[in-house]
Amino acid sequence: MSTYLIVSICIGLLLDFLLGDPRGMPHIVRLVGWLSEVFEKLATRLLGRSVLGGLLLWLLVAAVVVNVYWFVASWLGSWSAWARIAFDGLIVFQCVAYRDLVRHVLAVKDALGRSLEEGRSRVSWIVGRDTDRMQEDDVCRAAVESGAENLSDAVIAPLFWGALLGPLGFLIYRISNTMDAIVGHRTERYEKVGKVSARIDDALNFIPARLCCLAILPFKLIAQAPRLREDANLHPSFNAGWPEAAMAKTLGVVIGGRMYEGGKLVQTKEMNKGARQPNRDDIRRLTEVMGRAYLKVLALAALYWGAMALFSA
């Protein structure tokens, strides 16, 4: 990878760390959302609400976004190398969400400190389950689960693909992850047409989820990583289970169990069963673990870039 690309990645990661989500400006997620709405009508009109229709939908959205990126990046690069670096840095900035993830998780802790009702309201920002009947340990458990899963999805996975492919890797991963969030649902409308988006996202998260698991674990627990398979397999997602199982083990808490969805009580399988329920202080500890995991993966990326530079010299 060229020095220019590495500099642009560093700029984007630094902007994310300092500023968080760039609200109020044109954003890749909004562009993918708008294109998904437009091309869903076209794809389903041509191929119906089928798996092939879903494949066409994904390809159309990805093709437009990637080609727009290449056109703008090439044009800026022909004008000024630094303009291209700035543009690529902006792409990276919009594809990683570490600062906002930490902000949202800590907001749950602060809200709980004021009242259970505020804690319920705030955790609803980061989870899709019902929150109106949550007790304090339910709120804390939801925050821990969401923090662990989104550390993989919103931070480690884009960084992994960006380290390998540069800003284009960040962009392709963000397209995939956003498409999965929009159409990758097991509902009558999206069961077939969203299958391709869900499977592509699963594939792109396979290695990062397991890397995130290793990064979450303290060095003294790394050897126990294979033993987490049993807990990880309890999760409906074969990717999300790994970072959640690692976080439960690292914090010494249980996650999973009682939750409400659609007004009904659902009893999910527990990870790290027999441990204590998480509390407000564990939310603070969660963000500390997230920060250390992020630094570990950044260090790995830097080592990879250094090795590639040596071999290409």
**Dihedral angle at the C-alpha atoms of 94, 98, 99, 101, nearest 10 degrees?**
110
18-29 confidence digits (pLDDT tens): 988 767 778 899
Domain that residue 55 falls in:
3-312
pLDDT for res 171: 96
197-239 confidence digits (pLDDT tens): 999 999 999 999 999 999 999 988 888 888 899 999 999 888 9
C-alpha 313: how far from chain center: 34
Distance CA(221)–CA(161), nearest Å, equals: 26
Distance CA(229)–CA(273), nearest Å, equals: 14
Q: Which two tokens stand for residue 98?
A: 């570490």
pLDDT for res 310: 79
Q: Which two tokens stand for residue 239?
A: 């990717």
Q: Return the percent helix, strand and coil in the chain, to nearest 5.
A: 75, 5, 20
313: confidence class by pLDDT, cuts 50, 70, 90? low
Helix axes 3-19, 81-95, angle to 10 degrees: 50
The backbone torsions φ and ψ at residue 224, rounded to the nearest 5 degrees and listed phi first, read -90, 0
Q: Which two tokens stand for residue 249?
A: 């083990």
99-137 confidence digits (pLDDT tens): 999 999 999 999 999 999 999 999 999 998 888 889 999
Q: For residue 308, with 0-12 CB atoms within 10 Å meaning exposed, 13-18 middle and 19 or more buried, which class applies?
A: middle
Count of domains forming the chain: 1
SS3 273: coil
pLDDT for res 277: 95
